[in-house]
Structure formats: C-alpha cells, structure tokens
Amino acid sequence: MKWENKKLSQKQKIKIVLISISAVIFIIVSKIYLIPIYKKYEAEQLRKRQILVEKEEKERIEREFESFGDKFNSLKIVIEKFDNPENPAEIRAEKYYIINPKAFSFAKNVIYSDKFIYIVAEEMIKYDIGNGKQLYLFRNKFEGVNAKVISKKSQRHEVSEWIYLLDGKLFFYPHAKPYRYITVNYTEIESKRKTTEQEMKKLDEIVYGKALKLDNKYNSVMAKMEEEEQKREEEKEKIQTVQTLQQLLPIYIIIVQIPTKKYSQEKKWKKWIKRKDVQADLITIIIQTAIL
C-alpha cells in the first residue's frame, strides 16, 4: 500500500512537470505567434477607426465648404467685382454702408470669393489708400473670434484675427502662430510664406499711416449708422409682432370666449391689441394652446 502511494505521488510529479512544460511552451508560442497576431489585429482596428474618423471629418469639411458656396450665392449685395483674368473675384455681403465713396466703406456678414479661396468674416472695411489702390480688412467683431480663409483646392482652413487683401495678395496672422504670412500666388493659401521685414513695414505704413486715420475719422459715423440700422430692425420687429397679434386676435377671442361685439369695431381692437398686457396674455395663451 505504501508503494502504491509512492507510485501515485510520482505520477503527480510527472503530471505537474508536463503541465509546467506545456505552460512554458504556450507562453513561448504566444509570444512568437499569438501576441504579434493580436497586436496586428489591434493596429488594424485602430487604422480602421482612424480611416472612419478621417472620412467623417472630410465629409464634414465638404458639407461646410458647400455651405460657404450656398451662403455666398444667397448674399444679394455685390460690393465689388475684380476683373483680373487670372484671378477674378467678387465680394458679397448682407449689409453695405458707404460712408465716403472715395475713402471709407464697410460691410456686415461678408464673403469674398475668387479662383482660390473663400474669406468669411463678420465685417469688412474698405480703405482708399491713394494712387487708385484699396486696402480690404476682413475681421470678426468680437475679440477672440477669427475670420476664416478656406482653400477651394484643398478645403484647408486658416483662421486669423485680421486678414488684409492688398494688391491681390493676402496678409494674415494665423491663430496661435507667431508669424505673419503673405500669399505669393495671388490669394492661394498653399503658396503662403512668412512675410519679410520689408513687406511688413510696407503693410504697417499703410495700416498705421492711412487706414487707422480713416478709422479715427469715420468710426463715430460708422457706429451711428449701425445704431440707426439696429433701431430700424427693432422697429420692424415690433411692427411684425403687432401684425401677427392682430392676425391671431380671433383665436384669442374664441379661446377666452370674449363677446365679439365688444371688439367689433376695427379701431377699438387695434388700439386694444397694442397694449402690452394684452400681448403678453395672448402670447401665453397661444403657447399653452400649442402645447395642448
């Protein structure tokens, strides 16, 4: 009986040794074959995810790019056309204010389009700098919000706090970059390079020597024109609100069951509906009715 126990113990030892050898072989095989296969699988999955992300980003850029073209075509005010046969261009805007036709004008919600690019900005100021030349400044109204340049060739974006168009070329200061750039081949973004000291000196002389003087001269006029425009827009909205409420008056009367005879006379109900408390009640009831 003791011999059998000893023999059984020996079998267990052999079994343990075989299991250990098998485990070592499995680990070695895994390192040689399985781990590289898994790493390859992971790399392939990562590559597929990157391709999908790039595809989605490309589609987003294409949609955005198409929207620039659609928005440009929707703008009805043509500020200026450039008849350069090598790079014809056009500037359109939602609003355009001519303060001095020979010196200073500005526009709101502007898109510049030529053979190479779109420029999208909230504002554009056109300066007459003498000798038949003009300087165009594209910028956004609020600090920290940049104007955009979009390449028609690559759909690449450049953002800058200010973008100057001078002599058919762009000067801009890309966001979060320490250098100023100029385009060599007209406005083509792909042809940009760092400006030389001489080029920046020339631009600074124009900006600080002429453009800022025009700004100081006409800024108050520009602000006044914008204020008057805003007042006109607010007045227009008020008129539209009153007209809408007048159209909805019968609904109000039916809902609150007001005798129609009391408001049958046109002059009386027109005067009545202009009251702020009545307008507030009407709007509340219409909203509640819409919810129901």
pLDDT in tens, 156-175: 888 888 999 999 999 998 76
Q: Strand pairing partners for 96?
A: 107
- The model's pLDDT over 273-282, given as tens digits with 9 standing for 90+, comes to 566 666 666 6
The answer to the question of residue 7 being in a domain is: no
| pLDDT tens-digit series, residues 79-135 | 999 999 999 999 999 999 999 988 999 999 999 999 999 999 999 999 999 888 999
Residue 220 has pLDDT above 50, yes or no: yes
Distances (CA, A) of 206 to 197, 202, 221: 14, 7, 22
The candidate with the shortest Cα–Cα distance to 147, out of 156, 137, 155, is 137
Q: Is residue 281 part of a domain?
A: yes
**How many CA atoms within 13 Å lie on the side-chain side of 31?**
5
Segment among 12-16, 148-152, 172-176, 246-250 with least mean pLDDT: 246-250
- Residue-wise pLDDT for 59-93, tens only, equals 887 787 788 888 999 999 999 999 999 999 999 99
**210 belongs to a structural domain:** no
- Residue 141: per-residue pLDDT: 74
pLDDT digits (tens, 9 = 90+) for 12-49: 777 777 787 887 787 777 777 777 777 888 888 889 89
Same domain as 62, residue 24: yes
* CB atoms closer than 10 angstroms to residue 182: 19
Q: Among candidates 205, 145, 136, 140, which has minimal Cα distance to 171?
A: 136
> Is 173 found in the same domain as 253?
no
User: Where is the domain boundary, 39, 68, 97?
Assistant: 68
**Structural domain harbouring 285:** 241-291
Q: What is the mean pLDDT of residues 213-233?
A: 85
Q: What is the pLDDT of residue 127?
A: 94
**Is there a single domain that holds both residue 26 and residue 104?**
no
106 found inside a domain: yes
Q: What does the pLDDT read at residue 186?
A: 95
In the block, which residue shows the tokens 């053979």?
Answer: 115
Q: How many structural domains does the chain have?
A: 3
pTM of the model: 0.65
Cα 73 off chain centre by? 17
